[in-house]
Amino acid sequence: MEASVERLVFVREDEFTIARMTAEGGPGFIAAGRALAGVQPGETLRLTGEWGEHPRHGRRFTVTACERVAPATVPAIRAYLGSGLIRGIGPRLAHAIVGHFGESTLHVIDTDPERLREVINIGPGRQAQIVQAWLEQKSIAALMLVLQGFGLSPLLAAKIYQVYGERSADVLATDPYQLIGQVRGIAFGIADRIALRSGVPERSPQRIKAAIVDRLESAGVRAGHCFLPLTALLAETAELIDQDRALIRGSLDALTAERRVVVEALSGQSVVYLKEQHSREVALAAQLTRLLRAKSTLLGRAYEEDEQLHDDQRAAMTLALTCTVSILTGGPGCGKSHTVRAIAAAVRAMGGTVTLTAPTGKAAKRLSELTGLPAMTVHRMLARAEPDDSPDLFSELSPTQADLIVVDEASMLDLHLATRLLAAVPTGSHLLLVGDSDQLPSIGPGNVLADLLNVEEIARVRLTHVFRQAAGSGIIQAAHRIRAGELPALPGRGGFWFEEVGDPGKVAERVIHLATVAIPRKQNVSPDKVQVLCPMRKGTTGTLEIGRTIQDRLNPARDEIPEHWSGASVFRPGDRVMPIRNNYDKNVFNGETATVAAVLPQDRLIRLTTDDGRSVDYGFDELDDLTHCYAISVHRAQGSEYPFVVAPLVNEAGGVMLRRRLLYTLVTRARSWVVLVGQREALHLAVRQLGSRRNTGLTRRLQT
């Protein structure tokens, strides 16, 4: 039968989709199935399947096959154009266009679009916008058919078109391997399936090179490695494509000659870098060497020590004011922020200038609150350091021109950001890196803070004295025990609590109840003061499942309020979201948070209000760059602090994510209360397991 999509009800991660449909002249009904993946409200579909009964939805049509067709009736055409599928046409304009052209509307748009100007409120600009959006939709629909022929998800079509536009079909036909890393959701496996079914030979150099690069890129994304040992790279690539290692080695030599990878001797073994990772690591070592050897701009100036500082805090102040590069590290409650405030005050008293910065917006805001001084993100500092074209002689100095630059939460610095940061620090300025070396390393490749702590020539102080006002905190007590490899006192006290629940399904239910009902009621706060942190992304206790359930309870769908599904995520006004990629054009950065102010189907965008009050638009084709905040990973929470934290702790997937650093980072994100819910054996495992080391060469480069 043929039916039109009214709205999406639910989309699962495996693309199983539930939609409300209407057939011509009939009542609305529910249709469900993976064959509906990628359908949008307003589309007309030819469905194959069978009727059945569902315990929750009642009579339901289970779809086994789905084909998109052009809407033929006036109501269907009006619904199609008014759904927001064609950018520039909203419900009111759709009514006017269809009222003018009737059943010929789509034929006019397709073959004689100049006639659109016959409709009131459509000028040359609006007409061009409508035609462009119409052509995009046709191209994406054609791409969907091509992808379905390869047995791939039609959801990839819009993502491919966003990157390659009208060249998309040619790229799929001639070099699908270039999709890897360019199109979100396409890794080697998908590109390889397209290539092999298109006739690319299994032993093709193009294929083998793509596999080698994929293994190196995957090592950076999956484990934060900057390189792979040669033997490991050859083994992983051979396993991926089932080819002889000698053949792979030949393609690796070709990649080396093309300067796409670098093979280097390290600690008695050959290792392989992607060229950009090698260049960054070499550049970072060179910038550090430049700063370490520089003559200080502060040296020789008199300063007064803060008598209230502990001995190790005074030692940190001395190093920060006399060494051009120094590190201040230590656990919670040891006074890192107070020490930074004292150091900054001393520099300003000496007539110097200070810039405080951190990798994320929340970390910068927290640094400012703790020190009482203004702070900014590293990204904003670097953006303000870029020269502009204005000849304003009275403009403020760049924040990188300070005598002292303090970088808090330095464990979050990956290789790329650290390289850009240090390149912007002037010779002679002092750089103070502040962080907890026992926290998780950066999301991106590298382990910068830990690598620098392994270089004896770099001055450092580790604060170990826990101050009395912090010593009574159950959170801080638990954190220090976890850092030492000891189990916290159970079930807990003074802000730390462990609630034992054996069944993973019940763990999720309990976490959701605590976050949405129990803690807000007991503490008399709104649910947005409670943050759920999850070790895993998938599974019953992962961010996806728990986050979606919390969203449906706190911000459910409402018929009169527009919403938009992007893959398995739905965006509604009022949702709290977080960019997961830096976007310099929008001036938003990874880790900042914002609220969805509006969903605008006719413009095919959502409008955000950032925490600092700015309005930012994201197109429907850009929503992969956002994640919801209802439940986030521990990695995403780094640099942030929340009044109340709730976290599931279960031994799913063999406990692969349960590591001491992860648990330590999780616990230290809470200001007042942290509640861990789950299995006692999972807690034991997390305390016991240290995790693997990252492959980096920065320490060796600095030592040599």
Structure token digits, residue 448: 């910068």
CB 285, CB 418: distance < 8 Å: no
66 is in an annotated binding site: no
Strand order in the sheet with 430-435: 375-377, 354-358, 404-407, 430-435, 325-330, 459-463
* Cis peptide upstream of residue 491 (ω within 30 degrees of 0): yes
Please report, for residues 256, 478, 528, the alpha-carbon distance to residue 280 in angstroms, rounded to integers and kept in the order given.
17, 37, 39
334 is in an annotated binding site: yes
For 498-539, the three-class secondary structure string (H helix, E strand, C coil) is: EEECCCHHHHHHHHHHHHHHHHHHHHCCCHHHEEEEECCCCC
DSSP 13: T
Closest to 662 (Cα-Cα) out of 482, 464, 466, 454: 482
Please report, for residues 31, 55, 65, 370, 584, the alpha-carbon distance to residue 50 in angstroms, rounded to integers and kept in the order given.
10, 16, 11, 62, 49
Dist. CA 161–CA 182, nearest whole Å: 11
Dist. CA 158–CA 163, nearest whole Å: 9
Phi, psi for 46 (deg, rounded to 5): -100, 110
Dist. CA 262–CA 69, nearest whole Å: 51
How many CB atoms sit inside 10 A of residue 178's CB? 16
Phi, psi for 507 (deg, rounded to 5): -60, -50
DSSP 668: T
Strands 227-229 and 269-274: antiparallel
337 is in an annotated binding site: yes
Count of residues for the chain? 704
Structure token digits, residue 580: 């997961």
Q: Residue ranges for the binding site for ATP?
A: 333-337
Q: Residue ranges for the binding site?
A: 333-337
